Chain A
Amino acid sequence: KNEVEQSPQNLTAQEGEFITINCSYSVGISALHWLQQHPGGGIVSLFMLSSGKKKHGRLIATINIQEKHSSLHITASHPRDSAVYICAGAPKTSYDKVIFGPGTSLSVIP
């Protein structure tokens, strides 16, 4: 069982839809990262959070420490949001050794 899991694995949405990607983890973490990876490999950090909620533009990330669960929401989705979204946990015992989830591949259709 992976220490960081994501669902769904693949997601196709119509432009304008509200999207939710889920992340659950089994290790104690000091922070959770949400990352975006476009075709070609480059990774962009979207959020780093350890509690509550953060918002940036159309993106919202939430975390529930007790339930060991985080969600990434995209409002008014757009084709340019098509990418792989990866959540990653920074373990409390060694928070530089980030543990990555397998990623959720999102495709937004016009």
Chain B
Amino acid sequence: DTGVSQNPRHKITKRGQNVTFRCDPISEHNRLYWYRQTLGQGPEFLTYFQNEAQLEKSRLLSDRFSAERPKGSFSTLEIQRTEQGDSAMYLCASSFRRMVAGAGNEQFFGPGTRLTVL
């Protein structure tokens, strides 16, 4: 399977616990994105990486959230001291950024990790 994969697919945790999600992008893709989607809403941008560099973070990403992409391949998203409001689907996407002005940037999405905080 050469698509974007995410693990785990589902995570149930108690409030206050830490959780970590993993995303494996398409292998030749240099950009990786994290999004959060709450029920009935479209996804919201959280952060993205160009190779191992984290280029931008949304204000939605509080201090309890941290994302890494240490070798420019897979990425992890950690949430510390989870709160019930963190319950959502966490989506990862990857793309290949062509260094051409105005070039498009089609993103390929993973299946998501659904987090439930009790």
Contacts and interface: CB of A to CB of B under 8 A. Distances in A.
B3 to A, nearest CB: 9
B104 A31 contact: yes
Contact of A50 (B42, B45, B48, B104): B104
B74 interface: no
A30 B112 contact: no
Contacts of B43: 43, 86, 88, 100
Contacts of B106: 33, 45, 48
B44 A42 contact: no
Interface stretch (A12-20, A56-64, A66-74, A90-98): A90-98
Interface string A37-62: 00011111100101000000000000
B72 interface: no
B91 A43 contact: yes
Contacts of B35: 100
B31 interface: yes
Contact of A48 (B37, B97, B104): B104
Contacts of A35: 109
B65 interface: no
Nearest to A2: B42
B80 interface: no
Contacts of A95: 105
Nearest to B97: A96
B102 A98 contact: no
A107 B104 CA distance: 31
Interface of B: 31, 33, 35, 37, 40-45, 48, 55-56, 58, 89, 91, 93, 97, 102, 104-112, 114
